[in-house]
Amino acid sequence: METPEPTSPAPVFSAVLVVLDGVGDRPHPATGGKSPVDAAQTPHLDRLVRAGAMGALVVVRPGVAPESDAGVFALMGYRPESDSPGRGVLEALGVDIPLAPEDVALRLNFATSDGSGLIIDSRVGRSLTTRESEELARALSDADLVVDEGVRAEVRATVGHRGVLWLHPTRDGPLSPQVTNADPFYEKSGGMGQARQPAEPRIREVRPEVETPAAERTARVLNRFLARVGPVLSGHRVNARRALAGKRIANALLLRNAGALPATPPPPFAVRWGLAGASLTEMPVERGIAKVLGLADRYVGPMGPDREAGYRERARIARELLAEYPFVYVHLKGPDEPGHDGEAVRKQEVVESIDRSFFGPFLEGLDLSRVRIAVSADHATPAIVKAHTDDPVPYLLVGAGVAPQPGPGHFGDPRALPGALGERRGSDALVLLLGRPPVATA
């Protein structure tokens, strides 16, 4: 079948990219042998499918299970290895850390270890509250663990078990981001991170990626920092309270994706694509991406206890942004966490909630002759794997200038329900959505 393209020349329209974090999945016994997305009842998304065209995206390339930041850079038409400053920098920018050019930042997880470096739980049972992680972060910062190395190490908590390690040299010159990960669950390639599934998840020794004094010093500093973290965390009152309550304790740190401010940042979104854009983000890393790409950002923060109300609020804000900007990027974290936790039924429920409470109100009264919408994912997080994979993710295109195409009639797993758009790369996402190639190279 001939692969349909957007009409050319493209009509004047506004464009929306909705990224459902980790929505890609595989069949699971808990959802009747279907993937959680295939099993979900999604009448609003299905209406869009019938009015448009479905396909699949290999977000980065076969064999690469991207982290969210790499996936979003690819969807935005950038090269994550070379255009991203690294997950650490994006997280730092997302919480307004004033990085200097000589600094290095790393993404961190508080984790549970057996005390010898073997990781029991990389997310502390996903029960560490932001307030608890803030207390632990202050204790680590106050300890100034590598002051003898001429480096100020500050830990900033972000959301739940997540945080940032900010290294600022106080003598002996700048640090280097060209070091490997201590986190055994992720590999680093330039500015891009990708998931890995180690046979034995032990905290890894940090090594320099290049033979330079700055990289060797940074690796040494990080290894000494990690060696000194345990006593501060294990003896903290937060962990004492958690142990008494029968909860996992946060007695280790997983560090990954060191980055530094780039000497030459990538071209802003408005330069690359020739139009202004805005974003609606829930997590610091996506807020950091918005800052790097020069998108106006509405940061709403993580979802609260009332999921339905949260998605309705996001739909309202997305419509406000759409009334003001010709391009809007919406990032919804929801499907990713139950994928990581192996909870297929909960992932199905989250997808149904997004359809009902985000897409329902977002589409109400929306003139699709003036708006083009793409719905996709930054990566797959199959519940049966409990990790990111390189599986193709769904790609739905509908609205202005897009003729309805024969297809599955349901938003779901592209391997089970192939669509008329065929299989594309993530870099094609905006080309299809905007109906033209970028006006400037990345």
- Encode the chain (442 residues) as per-residue pLDDT tens digits: 333 444 333 447 999 999 999 999 999 999 999 999 999 999 999 999 999 999 999 999 999 999 999 999 999 999 999 999 999 999 999 999 999 999 999 999 999 999 899 999 999 999 999 999 999 999 999 999 999 999 999 999 999 999 999 999 999 999 999 999 999 999 998 888 889 999 999 999 999 999 999 999 999 999 999 999 999 999 999 999 999 999 999 999 999 999 999 989 999 999 999 999 999 999 999 999 999 999 999 999 999 999 999 999 999 999 999 999 999 999 999 999 999 999 999 999 999 999 999 999 999 999 999 999 999 999 999 999 999 999 999 999 999 999 998 878 899 877 766 688 999 999 999 999 999 999 977 5
Number of CB atoms found within 10 A of residue 41's CB: 12
Q: Are residues 335 and 299 located together in one domain of the fold?
A: yes
- Full-model pTM: 0.93
d(CA 302, CA 157): 14
Give the pLDDT score at 4: 41
Q: Does residue 112 belong to any structural domain of this protein?
A: yes
Closest CA to 311 of 282, 344, 278, 346: 282
Name the token pair of 157.
Answer: 């908590």
| CA dist., res. 156 & res. 165, Å (int) | 6
Q: Which range marks the domain in which residue 210 is found?
A: 89-259
For residue 442, the model assigns a pLDDT of: 57
Specify if 239 maps to a domain: yes
Tell me the backbone φ, ψ of residue 334, rounded to 5 degrees: -40, -55
Peptide bond into 9 cis (omega under 30): yes
Q: Is 285 exposed, middle or buried (0-12, 13-18, 19+ CB in 10 A)?
A: buried
DSSP state of 302: S
Residue 129 and residue 155 in one domain: yes
Asked, for residue 440, whether it belongs to a domain, the answer is no
Per-residue pLDDT, 12: 79
Question: Does 442 map to a domain?
Answer: no
Residue 441 forms part of a structural domain: no
1 domain residue, yes or no: no
Q: What is the residue-wise DSSP string for 146-200? A: TGGGTEEEEEEE-STTEEEEEEEESSSS---S-B--S-TTEEEETTEEEE---SS
Last residue of a domain, which of 244, 259, 274? Answer: 259
Q: Are 320 and 300 in contact (CB under 8 A)?
A: no
Distance in angstroms (rounded) separating the CA atoms of residues 152 and 165:
10
**In this structure, are 116 and 72 located in the same domain?**
no
Residue 4 lies in a domain: no
Dihedral of alpha carbons 348, 351, 352, 357, sign: positive
CA 173, CA 176: separation in Å to the nearest integer? 10
Residue 407's pLDDT is: 78
- The owner of tokens 């078990």 is 161
Eight-class DSSP state of 359: I
**What is the count of structural domains for the chain?**
2
Q: 211, 231, 259: which is the final residue of a domain?
A: 259
Quick one: 13 exposed, middle or buried, by C-beta within 10 A (0-12, 13-18, 19+)? buried
Residue 70 lies in a domain: yes
Q: In terms of domains, do 315 and 377 share one?
A: yes
Q: Which residues pair with 193 in a beta bridge?
A: 188
Strands (E), 77-141: 104-113, 119-121
Do 251 and 275 have their domain in common?
no
253 and 281 within one domain: no
CA atoms of 322 and 326, how far apart (whole Å): 7
Please check whether residues 186 and 305 belong to one and the same domain.
no
Q: Assess whether 106 and 142 both reside in one domain.
A: yes
SS3 content of the chain, % helix, strand, coil (to 5): 35, 20, 45
Residues 401 and 308 in one domain: yes
Q: Kindly state whether residues 98 and 179 are assigned to the same domain.
A: yes
Distance CA 42, CA 55 (A): 17
Structural domain ending residue among the three candidates 239, 259, 279: 259
Domain check: are 64 and 172 in the same one? no
Q: Answer yes or no: do 276 and 386 share one domain.
A: yes
Distance from the first to the final alpha carbon of the chain: 32
Tell me what pLDDT residue 8 has: 37
What CATH number is associated with residue 43? 3.40.720.10
